[in-house]
Chains A and B, each alone.
Chain A
């Protein structure tokens, strides 16, 4: 590295500096909206509504957070999101890990067919309406279980893990079978420990997509006490300024529609920021593993 650095001409150095500056600008542009929304969430309602917030909170106050954190609906939706995230992720793993193992075994009859059978779902799906009607016919509308089971298997994740299992030398499996272990034991005691990075990757993918999922929760759930955080946030964004009960409190409260919305956004981002370092550790590897071809 040091040697090649010395070989950089003046033009090369200018080029390197220019790219560094451009990268810095793009990074700042990426970061700015988060800083802005955080600043809004801590500003007074008056300053935020007047468009005075740019980089730091103006007339700093926790009023918006107080309003959000004392709203029981916020906590109900937060709890629901936890249920959907934990339950849904565990369900996904329960389907994906054994399935990926079976598909990775050369002795499986019709292996090519089963692989195509799963992979086909990545390339073609029936669309919104048939999926919705199917969920309704299965009696899974407005149900915790429906949200968790309805999105349990993701072909991309399954194939990603299968690729990883395939890369583990078959001698591991053969040796364990010789020693009298059955396939369940082989999977649990040999393959799962060896595939930890891949399993961590798909677990994190599942957690993030569960945490962020909103469209189907919005479509499939009717009861307010079952909606997840993202749907609660959408309701807030869409309806808060028309909510007379809320707007009536604005006269004597130092928050506004903008600061309350921003405070919910910050509360919804924090868990993602907490898992993000773990995600980052794995997803680059994960993406590369998933050189998914059929």
Chain B
């Protein structure tokens, strides 16, 4: 071990010239030199590769291998033949899908639900963060934050259970309140026109608080001298919010918007599975719930995989497009 350390030290002095400049990559390095360097390196650092191996192997087995399995979207997949031996059939599944009204409906439902999420769900945490920034009493702010972050950590099943109970036609609080105003009881979860408002509202209730953390962090990072000089100029808090805070956190807002757009096709289908029923499929069924029903419940794996691939491809195009637009117009981008 000590010999190796000395070896390292010797290497270091060899690559540094006396005047302190460092020469990287000596010009004429033979293949043999490279090889012996590599051997040295692995002799010294093999433990790093042992540490890295489990995570890399895990990713290959559980994430990259399914990507190889994605080819069944173009195959007539049979369980008995397996992925590799099933015959290719080209784009047949995609043709079937685009002739399937349910699938087309699911695509449009996905986009509509996401659009509502974007319209109402995206601004909510920003507004919340801006409001938190104006609350003067630190203890009150702390308390409110503790409460509003909590729903993020509650499971989808519990959220669904609460929604189902609260919106139940006879037992639910929502219909009780409607009853005070003399309105008839509504069986909300069987009404297609109510599904999206309930779903989007639930999402805001669950995630707006937690989502505000990112924006609060961005606000905390704004240069305080901007506010100080604004105070000297007699600006009001309202003006400071519009003229300093919001412009300062705009890059964060744009990054979050790009991420959001990249996730347009990924509405939280777990909650939908728990809340929808055949009566509300017309507004509630999204691509991922369609994939779940066709694939995991009806066993049409190949067609469902094709639907999933279509979804992922659209999502990929969306995030790349959003990113390049943002880079062009605001110099803010994910990559």
A-side residues, CB < 8 A to B, are 4-5, 7-9, 11-12, 15-16, 19-20, 22-24, 26-27, 29-31, 33-34, 36-37, 40, 48-54, 94-96, 98-99, 101-103, 105, 107-109, 114, 117-118, 121, 123-134, 137-138, 149-150, 152-153, 155, 158, 177-178, 180, 182-184, 187, 208, 211-215, 219, 230-231, 233-234, 237, 256, 258, 261-262, 264-265, 268-269, 272, 276, 279-280, 283-284, 287-288, 293-294
Closest Cβ–Cβ distance, residue B37 to chain A (whole Å): 11
A126 touches B52 (CB 8 A): no
Interface string of B187-231 (1 = CB under 8 A from A): 000000000000000000100110001100100000000000001
| Chain A residue, CB-CB nearest to B61 | A138
Known A19-B134, A152-B58; further 14 A-B contacts with Cβ < 8 A: A8-B237, A27-B143, A50-B170, A51-B171, A108-B49, A130-B66, A133-B69, A133-B72, A212-B156, A231-B157, A256-B171, A258-B168, A261-B161, A283-B213
- The interface residues of chain A lying within 8 Å CB-to-CB of B295 are 128-129, 132
B155 touches A211 (CB 8 A): yes
Closest Cβ–Cβ distance, residue A212 to chain B (whole Å): 3
| Chain A residue, CB-CB nearest to B274 | A234
B171 touches A49 (CB 8 A): yes
A127 touches B165 (CB 8 A): no
Partner of A117, one of B56, B140, B158: B56
A256 to B259 alpha-carbon distance, docked (Å): 43
B238 touches A102 (CB 8 A): no
B162 touches A265 (CB 8 A): yes
- The interface residues of chain B lying within 8 Å CB-to-CB of A234 are 157, 160, 274
B335 touches A294 (CB 8 A): yes
Closest Cβ–Cβ distance, residue B8 to chain A (whole Å): 9
A98 touches B54 (CB 8 A): yes
Closest Cβ–Cβ distance, residue A181 to chain B (whole Å): 9
Interface string of B148-160 (1 = CB under 8 A from A): 1111011111101
Closest Cβ–Cβ distance, residue B191 to chain A (whole Å): 18
B308 touches A127 (CB 8 A): yes
B-side residues, CB < 8 A to A, are 1-2, 5, 38, 41, 45, 47-52, 54-56, 58-59, 61-67, 69-70, 72, 82-83, 128, 131-132, 134-137, 140-141, 143-144, 146-151, 153-158, 160-162, 164-166, 168, 170-173, 175-176, 179, 205, 208-209, 213-214, 217, 231, 236-238, 270, 273-274, 288, 291-292, 295-296, 301, 304-305, 308-309, 311-312, 316, 319, 334-335
B149 touches A280 (CB 8 A): yes
Partner of B62, one of A123, A134, A265: A134
Given A230-B155, A230-B157, A177 and B54 touching (CB < 8 A)?
A: no
B154 touches A212 (CB 8 A): yes
- The interface residues of chain A lying within 8 Å CB-to-CB of B335 are 293-294
- The interface residues of chain A lying within 8 Å CB-to-CB of B131 are 19, 22-23
- The interface residues of chain A lying within 8 Å CB-to-CB of B217 are 284, 287-288
Partner of A37, one of B2, B148, B162, B292: B162
B153 touches A272 (CB 8 A): yes
Given A108-B45, A126-B63, A15 and B154 touching (CB < 8 A)?
A: no
Partner of B173, one of A29, A51, A230: A51
Partner of B66, one of A24, A102, A134, A149: A134
- The interface residues of chain B lying within 8 Å CB-to-CB of A184 are 47, 51
A287 to B215 alpha-carbon distance, docked (Å): 11
A26 to B50 alpha-carbon distance, docked (Å): 50
Given A102-B48, A150-B62, A233 and B171 touching (CB < 8 A)?
A: no
A132 to B72 alpha-carbon distance, docked (Å): 13
A187 touches B153 (CB 8 A): no
Partner of B161, one of A15, A128, A233: A233
- The interface residues of chain B lying within 8 Å CB-to-CB of A187 are 51
Given A187-B51, A233-B158, A53 and B65 touching (CB < 8 A)?
A: no
| Chain A residue, CB-CB nearest to B292 | A128
